[in-house]
Amino acid sequence: MEPSFYQAKTKYPGIFGWIFSTDHKRIGLLYLVSTLAFFAVGVCLGLTLRLELIRSGMHIISAQTYNAIFTLHGVIMIFLFIIPGIPSSLGNFIMPLQIGARDVAFPKINILSWWLFIIGGACAVTSLFTGGGPIDTGWTFYVPYSIRTRTNTSLAVFGVFLIGMSSTLTGMNFLTTIHRLRAPGMTWKRMPLFVWSIYATSWIQLLATPVLAITLLLIIIERFFGVGFFDPTKGGDPILFEHMFWIYSHPAVYIMILPAMGAVTDIIPVFARRNIFGYTFIAASSLAIAFVGYLVWGHHMFTSGMSDTARVIFSFLTFLVAVPSGIKVFNWIASLYKGSIRMDAPLLYTLAFIFLFSIGGLTGLVQGALATSLHVHGTYFIVGHFHYVIFGGAAMGFFAGLHYWFPKITGKLYEEHLAKLAWVLLFIGFNMLYFSMFVLGWEGMPRRYYDYLPKFDGPNLVSTIGSWILAMGLIIMFYNLIHSILAGKDAGDNPWEAASLEWQTSSPPPAENFETTPVVTKGPYSFQ
């Protein structure tokens, strides 16, 4: 039997065999460790925000610091955790295995992508301690404030620019890989739906990110040279910035959610012991979400002064984009129906995903309808909505995938009881933390404020306590995974008795993934 990829001989010794590796599995792990490290920082920032907001009139940090912290919380969580998140870690590790390939199409560009990510992250972190100090514009960098603020905006924005380049190259790499490197017999319709989701995500990464890139460059150019594109005194238009920013940043949220949907779509058949319901519709809906997602960016700008006609069109398209997601939810439920359910951690996290994402999605409709949008814009309702979809959705799906593929990546089994305990704490803490925000937002509490009226005290207290319970859950979950790497039981090749290709090689896989190139004769969820 071949040694695992961990033991393979590498071109460079020691740590350099990792940080200069061109093995997609090692690169996936590099991303996993770095994105989770940034996630930890983002969580701490979030906990600090919640601590500041525990009670009205009480302050542990200044208003300026508060603004910097919520900006950083957003920038780190979005650009350094959840956007690269699943695609670059699980996508990198698992996708080539699932299509029976030896690696991705461009392994050197793959490691270049990771370096761009790291250098971009380093720029963002450095910007905290240099120049005018940590950026305080909000992660949306709206002009004119982002042009005028004395904080170290240019370096932070340049960091995000580099991270964007990383994302674009990864998208290009994965698209070429899926088109060119599928094993014999692996037709498009025999690919696992995780691969379909990575495929759709890669199209968004490829095409949307460059628009963000130019928008960010224009901020930097504006700050240094005063060109005037977004400055009304020079004929510029701040609303143009909003358009350019959201033309990327809306599709970006589909980069966040599609891979998580893909992971849970792979998990459900295995833990219900039956084929997925509606394979073609799920694959097609991933592409539909990617496409329609490009058309709805205006729903972030309903109060910015667009015409009624434009707003009605964006509202309609926003409702339309919810349909393919709804199709997936129904297909997942149908896939569980009359299945032989194994209630292990991957499925628990999957069920939480479906529930929390649905709540997030439905509240998105409240925001997408013009009349109610006016009521909730700029309030905590929005904050609640996006945390339900990004955290309750994408991140929960990430955790599901982590548990599911943990044995494949590490060769070990995590401890099931601890995983379930963590899940309970996560679920309770999450809902306390974020459901309160719907209440607060509806009652009128504005977002990005470091203080509030006493009438909002109650739900804020609940929310902050929820954040502590959630943090406990995260600590237990990660403790379990890390401890199990060191002391877990051996997993064997296929502990879940799954049918997709990654489970037909050893855990962890050898350097070349498969002893011989697999020949595929059936679908990824055929258990009979």
Partner 1 sequence: MNETAHMEHRDYTGAKLGMWLFLFTEILLFGGMFLVYARYRQVNTAEFHEAGREMSLFIGAANTIILLTSSLTMALAISAIKKGLKARCLVLQAATVLLGIWFLVNKYFEWSEHIRHGFYPDSPKLLAMSHGNILFFGLYYVMTGIHALHVLIGISLITFMMVLTLRGRVSGADYVKLENTGLFWHLVDIIWIYLFPLFYLVL
The residue (of 117 and 452) whose beta carbon lies closer to partner 1 is: 117
Provide the minimum distance between the beta carbon of 109 and partner 1 in the complex, in angstroms, as a whole number. Answer: 8
Chain contacts with partner 1 (rule: CB under 8 A): 8-11, 21-23, 102-103, 105-107, 109, 168-169, 171-173, 175-176, 179-181, 206-207, 209-211, 213-215, 217-218, 221, 225-229, 234-237, 240, 244, 511-512
Contact 124, 158 (CB under 8 A): no
* 87 C-beta neighbours (distance < 10 Å), count: 27
CA quadruple 166, 167, 172, 177: dihedral, nearest 10: 100
The residue (of 177 and 480) whose beta carbon lies closer to partner 1 is: 177
The residue (of 79 and 229) whose beta carbon lies closer to partner 1 is: 229
The residue (of 168 and 506) whose beta carbon lies closer to partner 1 is: 168
Provide the minimum distance between the beta carbon of 460 and partner 1 in the complex, in angstroms, as a whole number. Answer: 40
Provide the minimum distance between the beta carbon of 173 and partner 1 in the complex, in angstroms, as a whole number. Answer: 7
Contact 260, 401 (CB under 8 A): yes
Provide the minimum distance between the beta carbon of 253 and partner 1 in the complex, in angstroms, as a whole number. Answer: 18
CA angle (169, 396, 182) in 5-degree steps: 40
Q: What is the CA 68 to chain-centroid distance, rounded?
A: 22
SS3 of 201, please?
A: helix
Residue 359 has phi, psi (to 5 degrees) of -60, -45
Determine the Cα–Cα distance for residues 162 and 167; give it in Å rounded to an integer.
9
Provide the minimum distance between the beta carbon of 312 and partner 1 in the complex, in angstroms, as a whole number. Answer: 22
The residue (of 171 and 411) whose beta carbon lies closer to partner 1 is: 171
The residue (of 176 and 372) whose beta carbon lies closer to partner 1 is: 176
The residue (of 169 and 476) whose beta carbon lies closer to partner 1 is: 169
The residue (of 247 and 365) whose beta carbon lies closer to partner 1 is: 247
Provide the minimum distance between the beta carbon of 198 and partner 1 in the complex, in angstroms, as a whole number. Answer: 15
DSSP element (H, E) containing 413: strand 412-413
Provide the minimum distance between the beta carbon of 508 and partner 1 in the complex, in angstroms, as a whole number. Answer: 14
The residue (of 230 and 398) whose beta carbon lies closer to partner 1 is: 230
Helices 107-129 & 24-52 angle (0-180, nearest 10): 20
Query: If you write DSSP's letter for every residue of 440-496 in order, what string do you get?
Result: HHHHTPBSS-S---GGGHHHHHHHHHHHHHHHHHHHHHHHHHHHHHHHPEE--S-TT
Determine the Cα–Cα distance for residues 505 and 513; give it in Å rounded to an integer.
7
Determine the Cα–Cα distance for residues 392 and 41; give it in Å rounded to an integer.
19
Contact 378, 142 (CB under 8 A): no
Contact 325, 285 (CB under 8 A): yes
Provide the minimum distance between the beta carbon of 180 and partner 1 in the complex, in angstroms, as a whole number. Answer: 4
Provide the minimum distance between the beta carbon of 246 and partner 1 in the complex, in angstroms, as a whole number. Answer: 13
